[in-house]
Homo-oligomer: A and B are copies of this chain.
Amino acid sequence: MDITNYMQTIGRQARAASRAMARADSATRNRALLLIAEAIERDAGKLRDANARDMEAAAAAGLAPAMLDRLALSDKAIATMVEGLRQIVALPDPIGEISNMKFRPSGIQVGQMRVPLGVIGIIYEARPNVTVDAAGLCIKSGNAAILRGGSEAIHCNRALAALVAEGLRGASLPEQGVQVVETTDRAAVGALITMPEYVDVIVPRGGKGLIARLMQEATVPMIKHLDGICHVYIDAKADIAKALPIAMNAKTHRYGTCNTMETLLVARAIAPSVLPQLAALYQTREVELRADPEALGILQGYPHLVAAVEEDWRTEYLAPILAVKIVAGIDEAIEHINQYSSKHTEAIVTEDYTDAMRFLREVDSASVMVNASTRFADGFEYGLGAEIGISNDKLHARGPVGLEGLTSLKYIVFGHGEIRN
Chain A residues close to B by CB (< 8 Å): 19, 22-23, 96, 102, 104, 106, 108, 110, 113, 115, 117-118, 196, 200-201, 215-216, 219, 221, 239, 241-242, 245-246, 248-250, 253, 338, 347, 360-362, 364-373, 375-377, 381-383, 393-396, 398-400, 408-420
Selected contact of A413 from candidates B19, B253, B362, B376, CB within 8 Å: B376
A242 touches B370 (CB 8 A): no
B419 touches A369 (CB 8 A): no
Among residues of B, the one whose C-beta sits closest to the C-beta of A117 is B394
A319 to B215, CA, bound (A): 39
Q: Which residues of B contact A196 (CB under 8 A)?
A: 215
With A22-B362, A245-B419, A394-B200 known to touch, is A410 a contact of B367 (CB < 8 Å)? yes
Q: Which residues of B contact A110 (CB under 8 A)?
A: 376, 381-383
Q: Which residues of B contact A416 (CB under 8 A)?
A: 242, 371-372
Q: Can you spell out 30 A-B residue pairs with CB atoms less than 8 angstroms apart?
A: A22-B362, A108-B372, A113-B361, A115-B361, A117-B395, A118-B364, A201-B394, A215-B219, A245-B417, A248-B419, A253-B420, A347-B413, A365-B410, A367-B410, A368-B412, A370-B413, A371-B416, A372-B416, A373-B420, A375-B419, A376-B413, A376-B420, A377-B411, A381-B420, A395-B395, A395-B396, A398-B409, A398-B410, A399-B410, A400-B411
How many copies of this chain?
2
B221 touches A413 (CB 8 A): no
Q: Which residues of B contact A22 (CB under 8 A)?
A: 362, 364
A419 to B410, CA, bound (A): 39
A381 touches B106 (CB 8 A): yes
Q: Which residues of B contact A215 (CB under 8 A)?
A: 196, 219
A367 touches B411 (CB 8 A): yes
Among residues of B, the one whose C-beta sits closest to the C-beta of A338 is B19
Known contacts A108-B372, A221-B395, A371-B414, then 19 further A-B pairs from the complex at CB < 8 Å, ordered by chain A residue:
A19-B338, A23-B361, A108-B376, A110-B382, A115-B361, A117-B395, A215-B219, A221-B221, A242-B416, A242-B417, A246-B415, A367-B410, A368-B410, A371-B417, A375-B419, A377-B411, A394-B408, A395-B396, A395-B408
